[in-house]
Amino acid sequence: MKIAILGPQGTFSHEAALKLDPQKADIDFQRTIRDVFETVEKGQDQVGLVPIESSVGGTVAETLDTLNNSKLTIERELIHPVTHYLAVRGKKSTSDTITRILAHPQSYAQCENYVRNHHPGAIIIQTSSNGRSAEMLKADDSPGIAAIVPALALELYELTAVDSAIQDNRYNVTRFVVVSGNRTEPTGYDRTSLSIYPRVDYPGLLHEMLGKMASLGVNLSKVESRPSKGRLGDYIFYMDIQGHVRDERVAEAIHELEKMAFVRCLGSYPRQY
């Protein structure tokens, strides 16, 4: 399977892609999330794999916005545990002399307590990705430098872990979604993601929409709003509901929502939680 993901290699996206297809994954590294979508839309790759939500950092806005404007939909989701390592070059076995730490901003935020407690004087050097942190570390032979990286980066860039599982929250996971032009069949344990753009805004609109779903017995697992990228104060609601779009109750709920808003199904797919 040819899979487009956000590059470079050695990131959590790379780890998740290898989990998606351990034996035959042909990974195409892209510069941005938008590039991942475009290469699949053009037929250059079969599917794309993008992060959509972190249990610590919340929704990945770029993925949600791009998904809403793409002809691709979610085919499946994949929950990937996020485990950070503090790494150095070579075979060094102690981290006592670390003075600089390369880290992607999100990775540092997820490991901030560890860094403050164990390396309070270290200078944090922000990077564009976890893979880039590993690349920069491998290329820098100056003393006292380390990086926060995933396990895969240790192997790919020949780095040594001086400490493992340094993330502050041991339950930290990232939810990835596979995007493609494929449609899925109901499994009996599904999730449907929707974007909802109200036709007219009025007091109680959101309450009315939620009430329609509740009255039909449709369980809402997530709701949030994002700017429509139009005028200030104009928003799109994003909802995750349990069930498949072909389920009678879900189909009826969407029909009711369409009386109040423009509704787009971003995918109906097997859920993992």
Report the C-alpha gap between 150 and 148 in whole angstroms.
Answer: 7
Report the C-alpha gap between 135 and 160 in whole angstroms.
Answer: 13
Q: What is the mean pLDDT of each run of 10 residues along the chain (273 residues)?
A: 93 94 86 96 95 90 94 97 93 70 94 95 95 95 93 95 94 95 94 94 89 93 90 89 96 94 96 93
pLDDT at residue 1, rounded to an integer: 86
Q: How far is CA 57 from the centre of its chain?
A: 10
* Number of H-type helices and E-type strands within the chain: 9, 15
Distances (CA, A) of 264 to 44, 132, 204, 218, 253: 25, 36, 21, 17, 13
Domain 2-82+172-180 identical in fold to domain 85-164: yes
CATH says 190-270 is which class? Answer: alpha beta
pLDDT at residue 136, rounded to an integer: 96
Report the C-alpha gap between 189 and 167 in whole angstroms.
Answer: 31
* Domain definitions of the chain by residue range: 2-82+172-180, 85-164, 190-270
CATH says 85-164 is which class? Answer: alpha beta
pLDDT at residue 21, rounded to an integer: 80
pLDDT at residue 170, rounded to an integer: 87
pLDDT at residue 56, rounded to an integer: 83
pLDDT at residue 230, rounded to an integer: 80
Express each pLDDT in 86-119 by its tens digit: 999 976 655 558 999 999 999 999 999 999 999 9
Q: Look up the pTM and report it.
A: 0.89
Report the C-alpha gap between 38 and 143 in whole angstroms.
Answer: 42
pLDDT at residue 88, rounded to an integer: 94
Specify the CATH architecture of the domain 2-82+172-180: 3-Layer(aba) Sandwich (3.40)
